[in-house]
Structure 1
Amino acid sequence: MGKRSDFTRRPMDAYATPFSAVLPLIPHLRGVETFAEPCCGELDLVNHLQGLGLSCVYYSDVQRGNDALDIVSLDCDAIITNPPWTREILHPMIRHFQRLAPTWLLFDADWAHTRQAAPFLEQCSHIVAVGRVKWIADSKHSGKDSAAWYRFHAQHHDGPRFVGPMVKEAA
């Protein structure tokens, strides 16, 4: 599924978002009461965020018959989604979503260190480290690539602030 494996990727990059991947984002959602999830898959991320008290005002997915790039407007505090990581899909989504609302996207952490990221980084305000994610619940292993939450907004122009991994306190 990753760049260092020969596993076949799931169609549409459909990987459920585990709650462990949402935890690092929570401190950065202050002031967010409503959100949209345009790549909702099986609603895992929607359910996690609603369980934290946020209200989902829109969710859909291409498998539900709605292309996220066709969304014209949204009335929400933020877009929060785990989009497809395929660059041909991801990059247009970054451009489109950030014009609609402040946007949090979960994808591979290495992206920020590539040339292809350069045109987007000025409008990225935060990169929140998640680390390796266990995308397949019944698997013995986590993914081979670290993930991060990226916040994009068309009105931001100062580049990102990196937020390192959460540290668990010793008992």
Structure 2
Amino acid sequence: MGKRSDFPRRPMDGYQTIDPRAVAALVPYLAGVETFAEPCAGEGHLIRQLEGAGLRCGYSGDLSTGQDALKIKFFDGYDAIITNPPWTREILHPMIRHFQRMAPTWLLFDADWAHTGQSAPFMAQCSHIVSVGRLRWIEGTKHTGKDNVAWHRFHAQHHEGPRFVGRPMKEAA
């Protein structure tokens, strides 16, 4: 999965958040978040990990089960939207615009995006970029993807641009 891969992409960018390092990197930044909506739930791996960290999923849906996240009018009553959306820009960018108007929104996608011109219209409303690194996306393999990923937090009421949070340094042995 990524720009340097010659493998065919999975339908609907169906790469599941199976690697626990994704949630481990995010949890320290979820202070005050108790409930969340997961509009690109896939097989539910991200939901189970977040619930394992003490959060409660109040809504889950996925295009594969008939729920189009871009047609949802509001996610009322949830502290945040947390999802691993499709990375295809024609889908990702409308999702950023749509979700950030409803609730603080944490999206997991390629870290390189923030360093491209296409990110410019979105950066003022991006409050955090939390680096995760390379994750494993395919069950049963030991290999990680070729792209570094990050959690990007967006909210329409934020206008100061992002705070970048790097990966913690490993302790020397």
Q: Normalized against structure 2, the TM-score is what?
A: 0.96
Q: Which moved more, 1:16-25 or 1:107-116?
A: 16-25
Partner of 1:159: 161
Q: Aligned to 1:156, what secondary structure does the other structure show?
A: coil
Partner of 1:11: 11
What is the deviation of 1:48? 0.4
Aligned partner of 1:149 among 151, 156, 161: 151
5+ residue gaps, structure 1, are none
Partner of 1:103: 105
Aligned partner of 1:94 among 89, 96, 100: 96
CA deviations on 1:12-31 (whole Å, 9 max, x unpaired) are 11111021111110100010
Count of aligned pairs: 171
Q: Aligned to 2:101, what secondary structure does the other structure show?
A: helix
Distance 1:58 1:167 in 2: 35
Distance 2:168 2:51 in 1: 22
Partner amino acid for 2:143?
Answer: H
What is the deviation of 1:59? 0.3
> Structure 1 residue 50 and structure 2 residue 46: aligned?
no
Q: Aligned to 2:100, what secondary structure does the other structure show?
A: helix
Partner amino acid for 2:10?
Answer: R
Partner of 2:63: 62
Provide the aligned C-alpha RMSD in A. Answer: 0.9
What is the deviation of 1:170? 4.1
Distance 1:110 1:23 in 2: 20
5+ residue gaps, structure 2, are none
Q: Aligned to 2:87, what secondary structure does the other structure show?
A: coil
Distance 1:70 1:92 in 2: 11
CA deviations on 1:101-132 (whole Å, 9 max, x unpaired) are 00000000000000000000000000000001
Q: Aligned to 1:150, what secondary structure does the other structure show?
A: strand
CA deviations on 1:132-166 (whole Å, 9 max, x unpaired) are 11111322321100000000000000000000012
Q: Normalized against structure 1, the TM-score is what?
A: 0.97
Distance 1:69 1:15 in 2: 19
Distance 1:66 1:154 in 2: 23
Distance 2:55 2:138 in 1: 25
Distance 1:12 1:92 in 2: 15
Partner of 2:42: 41
